[in-house]
Structure 1
Amino acid sequence: MGEVTIPPDLTKRPPMVIDTVSTESRAETVRLLTEIEQRLRWLSSWMIHNANNIREKRDGLKVGGHQASCASMTAIMAALYFHALRPQDKVAVKPHAGPVLHAIHYLLDEQTREKMERFRGLGGVQSYPSRTKDSIPVDFSTGSVGLGVAITAFSSLVQDYLIAHGQLREEQSGRMIALMGDAELDEGNIYECLIEGYKHDLRNCWWIVDYNRQSLDATTADRMFRRFDDIFETCGWRVVTLKHGKLQRAAFQLPGGKALEDWIETCPNADFAALTYLGGAAWRERLMHDIGRKRGVAELLGSFDDAGLAQLMTNLGGHCIETLLDAFDSMDDERPTLLIAYTVKGYGLPLAGHKDNHSGMMNAGQIEGFRDALGIAPGEEWGKWSGLGDNLASALQAFVADSPIARKQAEHAAPTIPLPDRLPVPEGREQSTQAAFGKILHDLAKSDAPLADRLVTTAPDVTQTTNLGAFVNQRGLFRRQELADVFQRVKIPSAQKWAAHQAGQHIELGIAENNFFLALAALGLSAPHFGTRLMPVGTVYDPFIARGLDALNYGCYQDSRFLLVGTPSGITLAGEGGAHQSINTPLIGMGQPGLESFEPAFADEVALMMAFAFRHMQAADGASVYLRLTTRVIEQIARTDSAWEADALAGAYWLREPGPGAEAAIVYCGAVASEALEAWEALKGDIPGLGLLAVTSPDRLHRDWSAQRSARWTGKPGGQSHVARLLGQLSPTAGLVTVLDGSPAALSWLGGVRGHRVSPLGTDRFGQTGDLPDLYRTYRLDREAIIDAMAELFVGRD
């Protein structure tokens, strides 16, 4: 089982003075939690068995579930939820222990039997805990390995931010807790998070490891255990290891016990798992062979029958309620803590220890034997306290109802932040969208608008190069401990005057996009988690959105609200080459649920879309927003009115209105607006009524069009989509030239709206360095390419 030392946190604490009443109360608590732990194991196992073996299976596919992964967690979760948790604490539950979480809320009368009977069925309990799709309280969605762990650290940072800004009282602070399987410790994002947490002096965070030493494919490497201690302790964490339960520790004090303890310490993980599965007789044979001749061992082993010996050998810290309570009660400060609880995968089930038990399930005979051992009568499987008798059932119900977690309040409904009617449009005849974004934020930072105080910006070490610098100069970096600017103190000139203090509103992160998106997700959950709404704005180099895409998807899945700014973008970032140029991010914006994406071309479009974002992030039916921006400076458009704005927010507007029944239109998006305008000027005399369509959001256009098409099957009122109305001004035989600095697929679908012919231009291969004229010519985004594409549409026509 690897080399292990008992942590000083548990062995060197001053002895507790406990009176008789407290001792009796503790014993009763242990007795009741032991019953609850067994009930959680049963209900989670039965839920999965019912879904796979009793419920009608119409498609013939395995429903799935993880009985063994649930069983290894039941004692940990019983002790945590019904003893250690306070109402203000928040928990990210190990994905495969989701059924245990639902069983807990079933005991709390917050989950229904009907939904548990539909586990992994439509409208029932989700496969993994989900904030948005489960009906029980879920603090953090989990399922994407490791992300549910790491987000708790960033949620703790958000809590500290709110406390420092006077928006949350210190006494209201809770612990952010992650329950994880040991295989999740292989995930790199956990260690990226660990480093970031150290930089920000992380506190009030517990990570509890179900250390069952089995992953999906194999038992875990023996030699890794001590490395976890080293890594976490180096980053300032306390590491508490619970290896032995009370029964084992008592046996170690008997004659022969030291030899038994030494044997356990050096037993390989795979051997321990196999012997657990084989049972008491196998344990006896192996132990007698290895250490039976040592003094006292034979007598010690002989004092247990086979069932008792199997119980002794699997009495690990993670299954011992008393050991868990002692550990949780000892961690009564704000220091981040890694608690490694040794467990047996499938503990208490016939599957215990088998290397294939990750997805394995009990057969009908085994589940019936489990039921009978608990005294549950056939037909009473879903009863909360079936088979326990009225007195014990009443005691358990009262205990559960009186637990601190039962007093947890519903998630907060944070007040809406008042917004200005419009955001000011930066002045300047020529501007880039990235610069306009920075100026708008800077203007807000200088204002006393309520929105300004709720803005929180963040970036993965690209604050300056994504135009957040002016905002940070004005509002400062967030640090719990003030940090002096040495350059400013010694009077070295610098454009960055970033004072670091508790009132700062920018959270600077290292170069790790997973951390960036997890920080945005945690900030975007401040309203439901803490009752205070923040307006998170995060900037990242557009191509590196893909690097953190799993974490972005994770944030959107739990309905976190933030403004993501991807900039610079496309091959328009000419001098940086293919490594820094983005191609498929428009498709990410179109395909990502919970994220509305825009690609403005002009400064007034940026102001319009930022104002929309701050409204949409607060709306009940809103979402996060993504702006794809560019560093390219272009000449701005003179507007005569604001009539274009509603269409722009819907996804597109006519920059140059087509004539009645026009036979062609140029359709552009983003940075190539100048080329599209130049081509329109060159062609308007040859193609009567030629239109120029500015697409500001392929995402919103496509979603609206898809919704209109699906209305015929949903029975909802149909009507015409926005893009169908716009393209309806063209002739049915018209042709479209679409162009953007990104994947041409983001616009080429427009031909399917009304059957128009399309000649799509865009980038579909890795870029290279160069200046814009060369790159636009090479990748066919320039005026000539648009003119040539238009000519192709008319070849062969009368």
Structure 2
Amino acid sequence: MSTSTENTAHLTERTALLEALDERLRWLSAWTVHNANNIREKRDGLKVGGHQASCSSMTAIMAALYFHALRPQDKVAVKPHASPVLHAIHYLLGEQTREKLESFRGLGGAQSYPSRTKDTIPVDFSTGSVGLGVAITAFSSLVQDYLIAHGQMRDEDAGRMIALMGDAELDEGNIYECLIEGYKHDLRNCWWIVDYNRQSLDATTADRMFRRFDDIFETCGWRVITLKHGKLLREAFARPGGRALEEWIENCPNADFAALTYLGGEAWRERLMKDIGRKRGVAALLASYDDPALARLMTNLGGHCIDTLIEAFDRMDDERPTLLIAYTVKGYGLPLAGHKDNHSGMMSTAQIEGLRADLGIGEGQEWDKWAGLGENLAGALEAFIADSPIAGKRREHRAPAIKLPEHLPVPKGESLSTQAAFGKILHDLAKTDSELADRIVTTAPDVTQTTNLGAFVNQRGLFRRQELADVFQRSKIPSAQKWSAHGAGQHIELGIAENNFFLLLASLGLSAQHFGTRLMPVGTVYDPFIARGLDALNYGCYQDARFLLVGTPSGITLAGEGGAHQSINTPLIGMGQPNLDSFEPAFADEVVLMMRHAFERLQAEDGASVYLRLTTRSIAQEERQDALWEEGALKGAYWLRKPAAGADAAIVYCGAVAPEALEAWETLRDDLPGIGLLGVTSPDLLHRDWSAARAARWNGGKRSVSHVERLLGQLAPGAGLVTVLDGSPAALSWLGAVRGQRVSPLGVDRFGQTGDLIDLQRTYRLDAEAIIDAVAELFLPD
């Protein structure tokens, strides 16, 4: 047998096996959803949900990708609604259990959408918030390039970062923000594969859009491959009458194509004969297919043709970023194929039983991996899967911890802002040759200078794969920025797009698990604009990426820039965001303490990301008599001025309003001997600890005493509290619930305005006079 004949036979056998896997994945994903909604007991009477149609449009793509194209070092973000297909793949690989599939969308079962932290199968990227799971693959590719340039990884070990996406995700703005950033950083080793079924949740997609994606992506340096027609269609096009059929398909509106797909072969024949039946060769061509065969022909799109898919994957053998648009039918192979309501629609019991019968799967064999396939084919599939590259895929790495200095130096200065302290700490670290300094990677969305990262970048440089000269420096033009760009640089500069910023932080924060090298990501952003990237921040925290987020400057202390730049509710964001420890230090030594603590938390098995809310307001620094305050500060609060036992009042402050709180305390201490001054460094940790202590008895544990209870327990039972911070008063007003104490909450609860700090603090009742008045109100009769 010739080599050519052998290769053809091998490819034919591979195609047959992949087609069998495509069919099996379609069945298992459909049955998983059906079982959850129609067989498993519903105690609450609610629909469980699932997306059979969205799964079936992806099964051929995922079969060809996972069992043909995917290499051990590649990583994949799977579109959210194809989660059951991913679970089915790992079920066939022996990495998912039947029990988990039977509990799909139930407590402890396979998750609705792929989750790194909640699923037990290997998941490279969590997906769920549309578009973010796509864009993060580009930033993970950039992180991989960073590690290669820094000698932490070999170029030959580079993997492809792959996103499987629904076509509706191309409507998400963050996709195009990412595309532009990728172009600036010379993105490579990234595939985005579009399940182009032309149906979204509410309707079919616009006909004109597919012609624009090519232009947009090619302009940004991507190769675009469109797989519109499968092998059967291409063969039909080559026959007499085929050219007319091809032209008709090219001009068929998406809605018409979907409706005809649902109606089936007879409807296809009637419509085609009406539109092009009189053209030469068309009638004979259509007559050569019976109705079922004609329906198969007309839906033989590129995304369902294994031969077409593996040929495309084999061509994508370089590092150029590639957009693969695979035309598909939503609900392909199912009775609801093409119906406009099929996004959340499900097969009836009669329909799924009919599908089972067509596949030769006996009743009671629904969960058997190879039911109905016969012993020979089942054995061949087992061997094929065991020999596929995905079977040797690298799982999560366990990177060693980075050694930290015992202490970080406290910046000198009688008066400092927390933002300035942060910049000085990083700069001092940058001048050392410590492992910590070498593993820090900073980033910012075009606010590097104004968030005090400039000195670190001067010391460590910008990261670029290709060296980029500083034209101003070369021309001897004086500038405080001496930002050389080279492969050893440790700052990744971004444009003004907060979604990109948080996705890069998430990618950097997953470096240990993805690539085996732990990095210390530090990202700075104007505090009010955390809200602009909040979805991406939540996404990064959900998959337990570890990073240090610095929101600065914050609050109305950014007086001159007005309400647009004055954050209000970010303390509440810090309190409400899981997997993120939030701190708001007031003094430079607190910043030092919290940064070192953050570097520990980023590495701990049960750790988290950390958020520091900082300010540009320079305040007089506190002279410490000892280090006893540090433990309390890391738990969320400590007495800056201890109260007398049984004191009747305390002022509670957080962050930049410390001077006003101190001034008010100084004024009141003669009239209210023993009044306390409580510095809250983390409303987040205080509240979490208090809530956990209260919940302990309901969770089977012993009722413990929280840190805030111990602190407030030093006051009289009926003592009053005045809480004050440069942000939403709700971040501290809950303190009255700890021991049933009266609270007078001060803070910012409306949009800010321009003005100097003195005027604004008086307007928003954050000055010492307002605090004194609030304390006095505590003692007025009701």
Question: Normalised by the shorter chain, which TM-score bucket?
Answer: over 0.9
- Residue aligning to 1:334: 319
Would you say 1:784 and 2:773 are equivalent positions? no
Would you say 1:273 and 2:258 are equivalent positions? yes
- Residue aligning to 1:255: 240
CA-CA distance at 1:738 after TM superposition: 0.2
Amino acid at match of 2:506: A
- Residue aligning to 2:58: 73
After superposition, residues 160-559 of structure 1 pair within 5 angstroms as 160-559=145-544
SS at match of 2:697: helix
Amino acid at match of 1:383: D
SS at match of 1:780: coil
**Aligned partners of 2:333, 2:701: CA distance in 1, in Å?**
51
**Aligned partners of 1:749, 1:205: CA distance in 2, in Å?**
47
SS at match of 2:209: helix
For the 8 Å contact 2:523–2:548, the answer to whether it is kept is yes
**Aligned partners of 1:529, 1:389: CA distance in 2, in Å?**
39
Question: Pick from 655, 667, 670: which aligns with 1:685?
Answer: 670
Paired-residue identity, %:
82
Q: Per-residue displacement from partner, 1:621-647 (whole Å, max 9, x unpaired)? A: 000000000000000000011000000
After superposition, residues 679-718 of structure 1 pair within 5 angstroms as 679-718=664-703
Question: Pick from 655, 658, 664: which aligns with 2:640?
Answer: 655
CA-CA distance at 1:18 after TM superposition: 6.4
TM-score (norm 1): 0.98
- Residue aligning to 1:87: 72
Q: Per-residue displacement from partner, 1:325-351 (whole Å, max 9, x unpaired)? A: 000000000000000000000000000
- Residue aligning to 2:568: 583
- Residue aligning to 1:640: 625
Amino acid at match of 1:180: M
Amino acid at match of 1:359: S
Q: Per-residue displacement from partner, 1:732-773 (whole Å, max 9, x unpaired)? A: 010000000000000000000001100000000011111111
CA-CA distance at 1:796 after TM superposition: 1.6
- Residue aligning to 2:20: 35
Amino acid at match of 2:736: G
Amino acid at match of 2:421: A
**Aligned partners of 2:688, 2:163: CA distance in 1, in Å?**
36
State how many pairs are aligned. Answer: 781
- Residue aligning to 1:599: 584
For the 8 Å contact 2:131–2:172, the answer to whether it is kept is yes
**Aligned partners of 1:25, 1:83: CA distance in 2, in Å?**
13
For the 8 Å contact 2:694–2:704, the answer to whether it is kept is no
Amino acid at match of 2:346: M
- Residue aligning to 1:628: 613
SS at match of 2:146: helix
**Aligned partners of 1:583, 1:153: CA distance in 2, in Å?**
32
Amino acid at match of 2:618: V
**Aligned partners of 1:296, 1:490: CA distance in 2, in Å?**
72
CA-CA distance at 1:712 after TM superposition: 1.0
CA-CA distance at 1:409 after TM superposition: 2.4
**Aligned partners of 2:272, 2:399: CA distance in 1, in Å?**
60
The range that moved more, 433-442 or 711-720, is 711-720
- Residue aligning to 1:50: 35
- Residue aligning to 2:736: 751
**Aligned partners of 1:796, 1:223: CA distance in 2, in Å?**
71
Q: Per-residue displacement from partner, 1:521-548 (whole Å, max 9, x unpaired)? A: 0000000000000000000000000000
SS at match of 2:506: helix
SS at match of 1:223: coil
SS at match of 2:766: coil
Q: Per-residue displacement from partner, 1:141-180 (whole Å, max 9, x unpaired)? A: 0000000000000000000000000001111110000000
CA-CA distance at 1:20 after TM superposition: 1.4
CA-CA distance at 1:688 after TM superposition: 1.7
Q: Per-residue displacement from partner, 1:282-311 (whole Å, max 9, x unpaired)? A: 000000000000111000000000000000
- Residue aligning to 2:705: 720
Question: Pick from 582, 597, 603: which aligns with 1:612?
Answer: 597
- Residue aligning to 2:714: 729
Structure 1 unmatched ranges of 5 or more: 1-16
**Aligned partners of 1:771, 1:183: CA distance in 2, in Å?**
47
**Aligned partners of 1:198, 1:633: CA distance in 2, in Å?**
39
CA-CA distance at 1:717 after TM superposition: 2.6
SS at match of 2:23: helix
- Residue aligning to 1:7: none
SS at match of 1:712: coil
Q: Per-residue displacement from partner, 1:246-296 (whole Å, max 9, x unpaired)? A: 000000010001110110000000000000000000000000000000111
SS at match of 1:459: strand
SS at match of 2:698: helix
TM-score (norm 2): 1.00
**Aligned partners of 1:222, 1:42: CA distance in 2, in Å?**
30
Amino acid at match of 1:785: A
**Aligned partners of 2:295, 2:700: CA distance in 1, in Å?**
61
Would you say 1:102 and 2:87 are equivalent positions? yes
**Aligned partners of 2:436, 2:150: CA distance in 1, in Å?**
14
After superposition, residues 139-150 of structure 1 pair within 5 angstroms as 139-150=124-135
SS at match of 1:19: helix
Amino acid at match of 1:730: L
For the 8 Å contact 2:654–2:681, the answer to whether it is kept is yes
- Residue aligning to 2:551: 566
**Aligned partners of 1:505, 1:313: CA distance in 2, in Å?**
53
Amino acid at match of 1:346: G
CA-CA distance at 1:718 after TM superposition: 2.4
SS at match of 2:696: helix
Q: CA RMSD in A?
A: 0.7
**Aligned partners of 1:527, 1:626: CA distance in 2, in Å?**
20
**Aligned partners of 1:341, 1:223: CA distance in 2, in Å?**
16
SS at match of 2:208: helix
**Aligned partners of 2:401, 2:470: CA distance in 1, in Å?**
35
**Aligned partners of 1:231, 1:239: CA distance in 2, in Å?**
10
CA-CA distance at 1:108 after TM superposition: 0.1
Amino acid at match of 1:244: H
Amino acid at match of 2:760: L
**Aligned partners of 1:726, 1:22: CA distance in 2, in Å?**
76
CA-CA distance at 1:58 after TM superposition: 0.5
Structure 2 unmatched ranges of 5 or more: none
SS at match of 1:735: strand
